Homo-oligomer: A and B are copies of this chain.
Amino acid sequence: MFELSHLRCFVAVAEELHFGRAAARLNMTQPPLSRQIQLLEHALESRLLERSSRIVSLTPAGRAFLPEARRIVHLSESAASWTRRVWRGEVGTLRLGYTAASGYSRVPALLALVRRELPGLDVVLREMVTHAQLEELDCGTIDAGLLRALPPGSRTASLPLASEGLAVAIAVGDPLLQRASLSPADLDGRDLVGYSPNASKYLFELTMGFLDQSGARPNLTQQVGQIHTMVALVAAGFGLALVPESARCLGMPGVEFRRFETSPCKPVELMIVWLRGNENPALTTFIETYRGDQVLA
């Protein structure tokens, strides 16, 4: 069977209609070029070129084969360059898991970054709770997750995505909103919507730690897993809530947010997490681009 090099030889001769010039274009001498054409003709059981001593012309079979040969050569070159770009991570697919909370805070900025710096990347977004993201990271269904709790073990790597303070979500009309400044003690005796220790382990532990440390004594009521649910409960009059500041972005009517004047609380972290073993080049370029952008910002 013939090879791509034969096709390149044939295309050159067919275009030049002159073995000498074609050979020069191919950076070789005429004799081996003649031989390559003969081998190609033998492989195709067809005469492609008519050589009448002074003039070279295409036979009907050669005319039929030429556009095919061109297409094959061109296709192989474009396939090669495309594959190189996939390997370098310039084009490809990045499957990203994200929590509902990150959806309204950081995801839009990340997508904008990808669109600006890595326009060849397709980002497939899937909203998932943290533990689902960890599972899918593990089995390779997503390339990276946006989550709060860094899982144990060294199989994962991570990069900080956001760090924010805790705010108090307060229903409009609540006299607390009239206060000039807020302190943890202001929560004493008030209803406080709490986090589920299962579905929202990170925020559960962080808020509980904050309450312990600050000595506030609110009256814990519901246990919910997602921040937008929590803010909705505040709007519905179920009490106050401790939420990351970015909850403002939800724009929930009937709820306002206040920070503590002197806040000893740990910041709420959000990070990009991925498996170290993940060989998707799109992930690597994404991470590097994000890291580079962070340095600049």
Residues of A within 8 A of B (CB): 1-5, 7, 43-48, 50, 59-61, 64-65, 68-69, 71-72, 75-76, 79-80, 82-84, 86-87, 91-93, 279-282
Contacts and interface: CB of A to CB of B under 8 A. Distances in A.
A180 to B, nearest CB: 56
A82 to B, nearest CB: 6
B71 A83 contact: no
Contact of A68 (B59, B75, B91): B75
A26 to B, nearest CB: 12
A87 B47 contact: yes
Contact of A86 (B3, B46, B84): B46
Contacts of A279: 50, 59-60
Contacts of A60: 86-87, 92-93, 279-282
A7 B72 CA distance: 12
Contacts of A45: 84, 87
Given A71-B75, A72-B72, A281-B61, A83 B2 contact: no
